[in-house]
Structure 1
Amino acid sequence: MSKLAPVIIEPQSPATAAVIWLHGLGADGHDFAEVVPSLNLPASHGIRFVFPHAPVQPVTINGGMTMRSWFDIRSMDLMNDVDSAGIRVSCHQVYKLIEQQRDSGIDEQRIVLAGFSQGGLVALHAGLSYDHALAGIMALSTWCPLVEQFYLHRQMPIFIAHGQQDPIIPLQLGAQARDDLVAKGYGVQWQAYPMQHQVCAPELDAIGQWLQQVLRLDLAVAG
């Protein structure tokens, strides 16, 4: 992972949960930090948001240009020409981020992995291969090759959202990720929005509601 420390947004109250949110190709950890207020979470949500930076490395499809990337993208054959070794490396870095939150006193069942595009793919692969079940996985505008490798944590909530006019990761790849995961026995909450390769206000509302559900914030507040 990059030597840069992740962007971390601490809650107003002591942290009792964490969301580790991975950015997309060419972005960095600041990319989604600004959306946290738009999730409309209760003021006492207790969620620490962690936005790590991908390493800077060459990306084949972009002519070998170096940029922040969780793994190499070699061609537009996204389902078959897969940098599985690079994905594994990023997954192990995500495991370390999870362990850091556990070491801080947050139980793994109070940790959500989230990601957009490339980051969403890594969130799915890391969350479904980690030794312990997490609170859930949120995968936005992404795709999911290598589903045959998954067999753990079939009860873990998964939220997948996609843009209906996405020109980068076509909608059918997001729908295939949903269908492949469901066929493997996973429960998936699916949303599609009239947008391109981005996030939108209704999607952020749905994310906020889903986080409150899987992190049981209503129970935390009541307690």
Structure 2
Amino acid sequence: MQQMVSRLQQTVTKTLELNYVVYLPSGYDPSADVKWPMIYFLHGMNQRGDDIELIKKYGIPQNLDAGEELPFIVVCPQCATNSFWPFENESLITLLDNIVNDYHVDENRIYLTGLSMGGFGTWDLAMMHPERFAAIAPICGGSIPGRDLSPLREMPIWTFHGDQDPVVPIQFTQMIVSGLEAMDAKVKFTVYPGVEHDSWTETYRNPALYDWFLEHTREQ
């Protein structure tokens, strides 16, 4: 039998589409050479689609739309209807690169957080690209089975979950925290007694979360 050995070399172009909202702090000046910390916020499953207003239903964008002021650039991408955040890491990193290029972002102070599906996305994106984030705060999320937690060993983490959550049971977070604690990772775990799935409202209204973010700078 004749054996054929050859090599394919071809440039493949992939089109990525992602709607997003950017909130700028009141002191932001595009002409000033001042770098700002940034929060990357990932929404939950019911905010997927092409209606950008859905993003503002819960969490940080809801609070900002209600008039809250935060000393961060806040970027809120929207996941497509037929996808999930843990499968959109390439799109999210591409968007992050563009945001860093277009706005005065301090790359050493980029913080990642999300709720429910966005909590899953937060864990996964941080595992795949730990070098991009100074700290993460996943809320009522979990991890894809088989994912390697070791990239998060040095990552400052504050995670939150209601102990009566019927949608994403608290065991999803407990398993991750146990694995990280076994590695002596920098993880804080806040459990809300009697709280069901909505563990994000209290979390994102707590000024301590934003103070905690600002305590952390990405290690070079």
Give the alignment's TM-score, normalised by structure 1.
Answer: 0.71
CA contact (8 A) 1:92 1:126 kept: no
Which structure 1 residue ranges, 5 or more long, are not aligned?
Answer: 58-68, 72-86, 218-223
- In the alignment, the residues of structure 2 paired with residue 102 and residue 156 of structure 1 have an alpha-carbon distance, to the nearest angstrom, of 21
Identity over aligned residues, as a percent? Answer: 20
Q: Cα distance, 1:2 vs. partner?
A: 8.0
Q: Which residue matches 1:34?
A: 62
Q: Are 1:144 and 2:169 matched, yes or no?
A: no
Q: Which residue matches 2:100?
A: 102
CA contact (8 A) 1:115 1:140 kept: yes
- In the alignment, the residues of structure 1 paired with residue 39 and residue 135 of structure 2 have an alpha-carbon distance, to the nearest angstrom, of 10
Of stretches 98-107 and 190-199 in structure 1, the one that deviates more from structure 2 is 98-107
Q: Which residue matches 1:169?
A: 168
- In the alignment, the residues of structure 2 paired with residue 158 and residue 100 of structure 1 have an alpha-carbon distance, to the nearest angstrom, of 25
CA contact (8 A) 1:18 1:47 kept: yes
Which structure 2 residue ranges, 5 or more long, are not aligned?
Answer: 1-14, 29-34, 49-54
**Cα gap change, 1:2/1:141 in structure 2, threshold over 3 Å: closer, same or farther?**
farther
**Cα gap change, 1:200/1:19 in structure 2, threshold over 3 Å: closer, same or farther?**
closer
**Cα gap change, 1:56/1:124 in structure 2, threshold over 3 Å: closer, same or farther?**
same
**Cα gap change, 1:21/1:191 in structure 2, threshold over 3 Å: closer, same or farther?**
same
CA contact (8 A) 1:38 1:204 kept: no
Number of aligned residues: 186
The correspondence for 1:6, drawn from 20, 24, 33, is 20
Of stretches 3-12 and 15-24 in structure 1, the one that deviates more from structure 2 is 3-12
User: Residue deviations 1:178-201, cap 9 Å, x none?
Assistant: 112222342111111131111365
Q: Cα distance, 1:55 vs. partner?
A: 1.0
